[in-house]
Amino acid sequence: MDIGMWSGLIALLIFIVLGIPVVFAFAGAASIGLYFVFGGVGPTISLLEQTAISGIREYNFVVIPLFTVMGMLIAHCGAATDLFRVVNRLLKGIPGRLAVATVGGNAVFAAVTGVGVAAAAAFSHVAYPVMREHNYKASYAVGCIAGSSVLGLLIPPSVFMIVWAILTEQSVGILFAAGVLPGCVLATLYAIYCMVYAKIFPKAAGGETHEVDTAPLTRSNVIGSLAVGALIIVTLGGIWRGYFTPTEGSAVGLLGAAILAVAKGMRLRGLFKACIIAGETVTPIMLLLMSAVIYSKLMALNGVPQQVQELLESMGLGPAGTLLFMAIVWFILGALLDSISIMLLTVPIFWPVALALGFDPIVFALVGILVIEAGVLTPPFGIGVFVVKAAIPDRTVRISEIFKGAAPYWVLILFVAWLIYAIPGLATWLPGKLM
């Protein structure tokens, strides 16, 4: 690496340590590095303008705001509550029923929004008060909410998958299909954990007799849940069957979510509020994408991906050892950065290496997404944990309790990542059938 890359890398580390927002750290570090590469301000500014504009107007990026607004509309119109109540009724008689209902509700909710933040916020308001009302242990309740909220990062339409597909020029639809089976496996393991824990430690689940009485189902609850199911079938089914592209599918899903929200009684003010909240979620992601594209340009000009590939090949680690090395890098970065930033920083470097080592593109994508996804629950950053802390209507719950309660879900995420590596068919079978 020449002085341009070293100066950019050092600047990025300094900016992160100083607590400068990642989006500005990426852009600032890239600007410093490009200045030394070109040796002047004029060429640097010109390249920054071209790269930023071409990056942010990428057609596939439209999927992110559309699916996010779709999820926020469903969360704020009451459909998330409908899902929780219906799933809870269907699970009558099992240990840890309310926790399992939270996992099930999150799994379905994940299929209509690719933003884990939306799920964490929604079920913090929907599920937590009910669990505490039935004397569930606080760490068990909040751990379940935080842990199951990350299902939205694996089950399509996942924002993680959209970003990965754009960075690696893979098909969004194929990655969506690849995430279905592993997502179901992860949700099932979550549910089994909830039941086993409640069986071993019944007091953690309120000492319940598995007959939790909640408000009776209404016609609105049933219709709301069925409507969410219909949105999943129409949106994802249409994408997989080739009736429309992922971008078009996100627009269809948004239209359906808007109709559902209005039917559930949401008025113009509520629709506007949901859009504003979605904008607050999407804007940092889009700015991160733009700044990361600029930083990636700096790395490409300095041949960093090729140099990293040569370095890893010279270490003689083999495919398994190299993947483990990548996972360790992702874990270390998880203590400093949010998951989207980690993906934007590392995938352009690791992707060519993985292909050169013969990894299946779909398998590597799913393993990488899962390992990076674990960062959502990893201290000290753990954005999913902090979202739950901010959203739950209980100020007495400590961050440490949420991290403790979410730890088993973190372990299960990594187990499923290993499972996909060991049994590639988990990720490749459905895409092979649908595409």
- The pLDDT of 330-348, averaged and rounded, is 77
Residues 333 and 361 in one domain: yes
For residue 50, the tally of other CB atoms under 10 A from its CB is 12
Are residues 392 and 320 part of one domain? yes
Q: In this prediction, what percent of the chain has a pLDDT beyond 70?
A: 87
Give the count of domains, the chain: 2
Annotate 171-211 with DSSP letters as a single string: -HHHHHHHHHHHHHHHHHHHHHHHHHHHHH-GGGBTT--S-
DSSP H helices, 18-78, are 22-38, 41-56, 63-76
Q: If phi over 0 gives left and psi between -120 and 50 gives alpha, with beta otherwise, what is residue 78?
A: left
Which residues, in sequence order, are bridge partners of residue 136?
205
Residues 277 and 350 in one domain: yes
Q: Where do we find the tokens 């849940």?
A: 225
- Out of 231-245, 263-277, 303-317, 419-433, pick the least confident: 303-317
CB 80 within 8 A of CB 118: no
- 191 and 305 assigned to the same domain: yes
Q: How far is CA 399 from the centre of its chain?
A: 20
State whether 50 and 141 are in the same domain.
no
Domain limits for position 23 = 1-57
- The reply to whether 286 and 192 lie within a common domain is yes
pLDDT tens by residue, 171-185:
888 888 899 899 999
Same domain for 388 and 287? yes
Q: Cα 79–83–86 angle (5° rounding)? A: 130
Distance CA 365, CA 359 (A): 10
Closest alpha carbon to 299 in 228, 230, 348, 352 = 348
DSSP state at residue 421:
H
Residues 18 and 112 in one domain: no
35, 57, 79 — which closes off a domain? 57
Mean pLDDT confidence for 27-55:
73
Give the integer Cα–Cα distance in Å for 293 and 289. 6
End-to-end, the C-alpha distance of the chain in Å comes to 41
Mean pLDDT of 60-66: 76
* 190 pLDDT higher than 90: yes
Task: Point out the least confidently predicted range of 59-63, 82-86, 421-425.
Answer: 59-63
Mean pLDDT, residues 41-49 taken together? 73
The verdict on 52 and 64 lying in the same domain is: no
Mean pLDDT across the chain: 80
What does the pLDDT read at residue 126? 76
Q: 57, 74, 101 — which closes off a domain?
A: 57
Residues 45 and 79 in one domain: no
Q: Is the pTM of this model over 0.85?
A: no
70-92 pLDDT tens trace:
877 887 787 777 877 787 777 77
- Cβ-contact 266, 73 below 8 angstroms: yes
Q: What is the pLDDT of residue 209?
A: 47
Average pLDDT (293-320) is: 73
Determine the pLDDT at residue 347: 87
* Residue 169 DSSP symbol: T
Percent of the chain clearing pLDDT 90 (strictly above): 11
Q: Among residues 15, 36, 57, which one ends one of the domains? A: 57
What pLDDT was estimated at residue 435?
A: 61
Q: Note whether 17 and 103 are same-domain residues.
A: no
pLDDT band per the 50, 70, 90 thresholds, residue 102: confident
- Read off the pLDDT of residues 105-144 as tens digits, 9 standing for 90 and up: 888 877 776 666 667 777 777 788 888 888 888 889 888 9
Same domain, 99 and 204: yes
